[in-house]
Amino acid sequence: MKNVKKYVIIGNGTAAAGCVEGIRSIDKECEITVISAENHPVYCRPLISYYLEGKTDVERMKYRPDDFYEKNGCKVLYGREAKRIDAKNKKVTLDNGETIEYDALCSATGSSPFVPPMQGLDTVKQKFTFMTLDDTLAIEKAIKPTSRVLIIGAGLIGLKCAEGLHGRVKSITVCDLADRVLSSILDEESAAAVQKHLENNGISFLLGDSAAKFDGNTAEMKSGVQVKFDILVLAVGVRANTSLVSETGGACKRGITVDEHMKTTVKDIYAAGDCTESKDISDGNVKVMALLPNAYIQGHCAGVNMAGGSEAFDNAVPMNSIGFFGLHIMTAGSRTDEENGGQVFDESEDGNIKKLFVKNDKLTGFVLVGNVERTGIYTSLIRSQTPLSSINFDFLRKNPNLFSFSTNYRRKNLGSVV
Amino acid sequence: MKRVYVNEEWCLGCHLCEYNCAYANSGISNMVKALKGKEIFPRIHVEGDDKITYAVSCRHCTDPMCVKSCISGALHLEDGAVCIDRDKCVGCLTCILVCPYGAIAQDENGAVQKCELCLKNANGAPACAAGCPNNAIVYEER
């Protein structure tokens, strides 16, 4: 008798979709159960701001075609949450008490908005987070052309929310404890340029300031400034959903610890996506890199390994391509400076910002604002850790091109299957 | 599967591939009407100096980073070819951030476009290869 394996995926986002495709690339027969807390088939989570902006709709936001689960032989349990993993007996208990057995399991549980305790927050009637399609639909329902919106957090989520709401509400104010926008990915100069562009488009900022307390429709900032609002969006940060794995004894810090095969420290339990932390090869530090590309790649990698194949993901770097009102920003890797034994090449010109960060003969990171043509050539240098002395970096840093590489490199990459 | 391959030793740097690409993807049957007096946005680009030149277009990678990274599900594989559903694309440019060859670019409207091997236009096979006067660009199985 054939032994049909049973695989369980907790979560139904990008990492889960990658995991399904990874499993099916190896094992066509096994049973796959997807536990989906959200009542939607996998959708493109980063598109929620584009939805508010009117650049997409619920139908087009689907990450995969309608027959995805059917074609891949997946059983999806919508609206169900996993409550506990019994790693010893290899089963998962759901919120309705049902248990599901597994041979291998993947935690693709993502992250949740982090809402710090703030005085008087309970007096605010219209408050939202901005992480899911349901959050987005709720915000859309609440806003009116006369709404004044206050967004707490000038990170990627807060600012994309601001852009999405622009034109649909009366005013948008964004505050952040940090003294600049997108402080996790931009340096001061590029943050200032992006902030100015957002201000020119009608977004107001209160930076280096935070809400001390709320009273109904008023926020009192630490600086003493009072902000009147109708809608509050909390985009302070996110936290990886690690509890299911940590409760089984799996190692977790900020995210679930995984190796390059996406194995956790618990036998037959894998993890992928925003709930994990892994090594950023650009600076060697272990961190949560909650990005869609990493989620898919990790999910796929987990799936292949769960099904008995072999795949490794050992060159993750943080990277972002994000735009606001037509201004594109690309960043990848990590920044360095002279104090840390690195070098900064500032190639900014004609209003475009370009900074390349180099250390130990390697490109460790970059920040580009404005012209972003062919940036992937730089990203690839970071991910491949190419020694810069092996290419014509002086030419390459002016413009990304393949001419700065050896003839052999071009022959191999343009003249054969890659 | 058949892919486009280039040989820089044979490239004349004539840029004809760029014009043939823009024409093939214009949807206009008359080449003069399609190209004359217009800024073109081809999906293949010749680069180099006065001695060495070569054309760069999508490599249709076997394990494409752009497809894995696409936040909208617009980039996908069709029988090995990397294709884009432009209706789903929101123009986030993540594909441009990750393509190691710089082979994906924006079109005249800022939307993303890439080589789809002319499989979806009237040509049915890459116009760049068909029109290359020195066989520096070929479309074949390797």
Where residue B66 sits, what CATH number does that domain have?
3.30.70.20
- Domain limits at B79? 62-114
Strands A231-234 and A104-107: unpaired
Nearest CA-CA partner of A199 in A233, A159, A161: A159
**CA distance linking residue B38 with residue B33, whole number of Å:** 9
B25 to chain A, closest Cα gap in Å: 21
Cβ atoms of A141 and A245 within 8 Å: the answer is no
Report CB contact under 8 Å: B102, A414. no
Angle between helices A14-24 and A292-306 (to 10 degrees): 30
B48 shares a domain with B7: yes
Distances (CA, A) of B46 to A310, B49, B60, B107, B127: 38, 10, 18, 17, 15
pLDDT digits (tens, 9 = 90+) for A66-91: 999 999 999 999 999 999 999 999 99
Joined tokens for residue A384: 């491949």
Cβ atoms of A400 and A332 within 8 Å: the answer is no
Nearest CA-CA partner of A121 in A277, A5, A236: A236
Mean pLDDT of chain A: 97
Report CB contact under 8 Å: A379, B98. yes
Distances (CA, A) of A97 to A30, A67, A103, A108, A412: 24, 29, 20, 21, 56
Tell me if chain A has a CB within 8 Å of the CB of B90: yes
Q: How confident is the model at residue B109 (pLDDT cuts 50, 70, 90)?
A: confident
User: What's at A48, amino acid-wise?
Assistant: I
Cβ atoms of A83 and A109 within 8 Å: the answer is no
Strands B45-48 and B53-56: antiparallel
Contacts of A154 (CB under 8 A, 6+ apart): A174, A175, A176, A178, A180, A181, A182, A183, A205, A207
The DSSP 8-state label assigned to residue A144 in this structure reads -
Which of B2, B4, B7, B93 is the best mutation test for A, with the most CBs of A within 10 A?
Answer: B93
Average pLDDT over residues A233-238: 96
Average pLDDT over residues A3-19: 96
Please name the helix (run of DSSP H) or strand (run of DSSP E) that holds residue A175, with its range, or none: strand A171-176
B110 shares a domain with B78: yes
Q: Which residue's structure tokens are 């391959």?
A: B5
B108 shares a domain with B93: yes
Nearest CA-CA partner of B15 in B133, B138, B140, B139: B133
Which of A24, A40, A60 is the best mutation test for B, with the most CBs of B within 10 A?
Answer: A60
pTM listed for this prediction: 0.96
Distances (CA, A) of A146 to A142, A229, A411: 11, 10, 60
Note the Cα B38 to chain centre separation in Å: 18
List of chain B residues whose C-beta atoms are within 8 Å of the C-beta of residue A133: none
B1 shares a domain with B50: yes
Average pLDDT over residues A12-21: 98
**CA distance linking residue B9 with residue A246, whole number of Å:** 58
Q: Name the residue of chain A whose CA is nearest to B87's CA.
A: A60
Cβ-nearest to B87 among A60, A374, A407: A60
pLDDT digits (tens, 9 = 90+) for A245-303: 999 999 999 999 999 999 999 999 999 999 999 999 999 999 999 999 999 999 999 99
Give chain B's domain count: 2
Lowest mean pLDDT among B5-14, B97-106, B107-116, B132-141: B107-116
pLDDT of A3 higher than 90:
no
Cβ atoms of A279 and A243 within 8 Å: the answer is no
B68 shares a domain with B24: no
Joined tokens for residue A113: 């908005």
Joined tokens for residue A277: 């932390």
List of chain A residues whose C-beta atoms are within 8 Å of the C-beta of residue B6: 414-415
Cβ atoms of A414 and B6 within 8 Å: the answer is yes
Average pLDDT over residues B137-141: 97
**CA distance linking residue A35 with residue A75, whole number of Å:** 9
Report CB contact under 8 Å: B73, A62. yes
Joined tokens for residue A161: 């929310």
∠ at Cα B103 (B99, B105), nearest 5°? 100
pLDDT of residue B108: 87
Report CB contact under 8 Å: A293, B68. yes
Tell me if chain A has a CB within 8 Å of the CB of B131: no
Residue A172, classified by CB atoms within 10 Å of its CB into exposed (0-12), middle (13-18) or buried (19+), is: buried
pLDDT of residue A1: 54
Helices (H), A3-104: 14-24, 48-53, 68-71
Contacts of A31 (CB under 8 A, 6+ apart): A4, A5, A6, A7, A73, A75
List of chain B residues whose C-beta atoms are within 8 Å of the C-beta of residue A60: 72, 87-88
Nearest CA-CA partner of B19 in B132, B95, B100, B105: B132
Joined tokens for residue B119: 């499989």
Residue A6, classified by CB atoms within 10 Å of its CB into exposed (0-12), middle (13-18) or buried (19+), is: middle
Joined tokens for residue B14: 């004539």
Cβ atoms of A223 and A101 within 8 Å: the answer is no
pLDDT of residue A285: 96
Cβ atoms of A51 and A45 within 8 Å: the answer is no
Report CB contact under 8 Å: A401, B87. no
B15 shares a domain with B53: yes
pLDDT digits (tens, 9 = 90+) for B18-52: 999 999 999 999 999 999 999 999 999 999 999 99
Joined tokens for residue A338: 């002279």
User: What's at B94, amino acid-wise?
Assistant: T
pLDDT digits (tens, 9 = 90+) for A19-61: 999 999 999 999 999 999 999 999 999 999 999 999 999 999 9
pLDDT of A2 higher than 70:
no
Average pLDDT over residues A180-197: 97
Q: How confident is the model at residue A241 (pLDDT cuts 50, 70, 90)?
A: very high
List of chain A residues whose C-beta atoms are within 8 Å of the C-beta of residue B100: 376-377, 379-380, 413
Domains and CATH numbers, chain A: 6-110+241-306 (3.50.50.60), 115-238 (3.50.50.60), 335-414 (3.30.390)
**CA distance linking residue B137 with residue B135, whole number of Å:** 5
**CA distance linking residue A74 with residue A97, whole number of Å:** 21
B82 to chain A, closest Cα gap in Å: 13
Q: Name the residue of chain A whose CA is nearest to B86's CA.
A: A60
Contacts of A167 (CB under 8 A, 6+ apart): none
Q: Name the residue of chain B whose CA is nearest to A377's CA.
A: B100
∠ at Cα A81 (A75, A82), nearest 5°? 90
The ipTM, to two decimals, is: 0.97
Report CB contact under 8 Å: A379, B73. no
Please name the helix (run of DSSP H) or strand (run of DSSP E) that holds residue A172, with its range, or none: strand A171-176
**CA distance linking residue A78 with residue B18, whole number of Å:** 49
B53 shares a domain with B123: yes
